[in-house]
């Protein structure tokens, strides 16, 4: 590919304009800053937060005030390297770490930049002006966000690197899982990826819980040993898991997670519960001396995920259930919003 690749003046993007108003439209391409490379986006995974901006005009406390390009789960190829000479050169296939930590005055462990209070994320309305995402054919991205894909790992094979890093971080928050009994509550993409990461990390026995057949089928395909229905409280309690990953994101799931943990066990909460008070019978966590641990995004785990995908030790292919052309993004979003029929839905920007 030539160094002087001529960028078009505009490119198609997926833009959330407000509640229920998602558009596929051409946006003008800005001149990249010196530290930005231009990446030709190949695939973008649709995430729960993208769905929230579309359906509610907000994701939790992040309220859409202006139109915003969605998307943070993207992979692509560098078509123009950063002018300051940092980062990968033209032609390099890359995954993207969507976070920009913002060290400030607030206290947090400095080795955990995911906790820096001013951290921005691609495709997030947490701040104003919003941080545009990368569901855009040609995205200007800071070179430091780009992770070169090793030989043997295709762009499609790397399309789930971002959510897999969320799952990897969550499993890491559970500690050493080798030989342990694990329970995963909620087997959407994040839960299914957690099953795959637990399997790779050596968990001895993995039980997966969901209310739909499709996510359970995916969980089984990536390593779950036993599948349970969400309403089967007795069977969930009988699991007595050393390690529980809560990835449903609602209080019923958190209740199941607590219920299914063994005395002295650890529950990792990666599912994002709505803000505000949540009705969960928490007393069991006290008398069982459970450890309830939060998990938020990830740091350099992305490099471990890329290496594990490249060497074949992390198997996640079944998590991708659908792929749509960018022009069919509206249909893709509708499919992604239905947990009963889909795992991860990809947009293919090259079609």
Ligand X SMILES: NC(=O)c1ccc[n+]([C@@H]2O[C@H](COP(=O)([O-])OP(=O)(O)OC[C@H]3O[C@@H](n4cnc5c(N)ncnc54)[C@H](O)[C@@H]3O)[C@@H](O)[C@H]2O)c1
Site residues (vs ligand X, CB under 6 A): 48, 166, 185-191, 209-212, 215, 230, 247-250, 252-253, 256, 270-272, 295-297, 339
218, 163 in Cβ contact below 8 A? no
Q: How far is the CB of 214 from ligand X (least distance, A)?
A: 8
22 interacts with Zn ion by CB under 5 A = no
Provide the minimum distance between the beta carbon of 315 and Zn ion in the complex, in angstroms, as a whole number.
20
Please name the residue that has the structure tokens 């951290």. Answer: 119
Per DSSP, the three-state class of 140 is: strand
CB of 194 to ligand X, least distance (A): 9
Nearer to ligand X, 220 or 339 (CB): 339
295 binds, among Zn ion, ligand X, none (CB under 5 to 8 A by kind): ligand X
Nearest to 305 by CA among 158, 206, 202: 158
Q: Are strands 226-229 and 205-210 parallel, antiparallel or unpaired?
A: parallel
CB of 338 vs ligand X, minimal distance in Å: 9
Calculate the alpha carbon distances from 108 to 113, 170, 217, 297 in Å. 8, 18, 39, 15
Q: With respect to ligand X, which residue has the nearer C-beta, 120 or 250? A: 250
What is the contact mask toward Zn ion in residues 70 to 109, using x (rule: CB under 5 A)?
Answer: ---x------------------------------------
Sheet holding 291-294, edge to edge: 226-229, 205-210, 181-185, 241-246, 261-269, 291-294
Pairing label, strands 291-294, 261-269 = parallel
Among 47, 141, 183, 194, binds Zn ion (CB under 5 A): 47
> Binding residues for Zn ion, per CB under 5 A?
47, 73
């Amino acid at each position: 590919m030539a160094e002087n690749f001529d960028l078009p003046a505009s490119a198609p993007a997926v833009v959330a304009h407000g509640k229920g108003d998602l558009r596929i439209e051409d946006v003008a391409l800005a001149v990249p800053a010196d530290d930005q490379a231009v990446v030709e986006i190949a695939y973008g995974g649709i995430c729960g937060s993208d769905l929230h901006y579309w359906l509610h005009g907000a994701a939790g406390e992040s309220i859409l005030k202006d139109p915003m390009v969605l998307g943070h789960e993207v992979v692509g190829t560098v078509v123009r390297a950063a002018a300051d000479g940092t980062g990968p050169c033209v032609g390099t296939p890359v995954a993207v770490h969507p976070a920009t930590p913002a060290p400030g005055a607030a206290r947090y462990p400095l080795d955990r930049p995911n906790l820096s209070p001013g951290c921005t994320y691609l495709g997030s309305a947490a701040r104003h002006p919003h941080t545009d995402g990368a569901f855009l054919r040609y995205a200007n991205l800071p070179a430091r966000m780009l992770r070169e894909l090793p030989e043997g790992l295709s762009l499609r094979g790397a399309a789930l690197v971002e959510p897999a890093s969320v799952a990897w971080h969550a499993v890491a928050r559970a500690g050493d899982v080798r030989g342990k009994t694990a329970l995963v509550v909620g087997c959407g993409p994040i839960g299914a990826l957690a099953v795959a990461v637990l399997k790779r990390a050596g968990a001895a026995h993995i039980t997966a819980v969901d209310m739909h057949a499709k996510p359970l089928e995916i969980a089984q395909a990536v390593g779950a040993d036993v599948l349970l229905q969400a309403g089967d409280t007795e069977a969930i309690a009988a699991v007595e898991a050393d390690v529980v990953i809560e990835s449903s994101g609602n209080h019923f799931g958190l209740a199941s997670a607590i219920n299914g943990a063994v005395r002295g066990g650890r529950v990792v909460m990666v599912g994002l519960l709505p803000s505000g008070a949540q009705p969960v019978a928490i007393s069991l966590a006290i008398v069982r001396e459970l450890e309830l641990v939060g998990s938020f995004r990830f740091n350099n785990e992305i490099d471990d995920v890329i290496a594990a995908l490249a060497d074949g030790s992390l198997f996640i292919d079944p998590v991708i259930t659908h792929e749509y052309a960018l022009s069919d993004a509206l249909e893709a979003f509708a499919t992604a919003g239905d947990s009963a029929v889909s795992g991860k839905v990809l947009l293919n920007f090259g079609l």
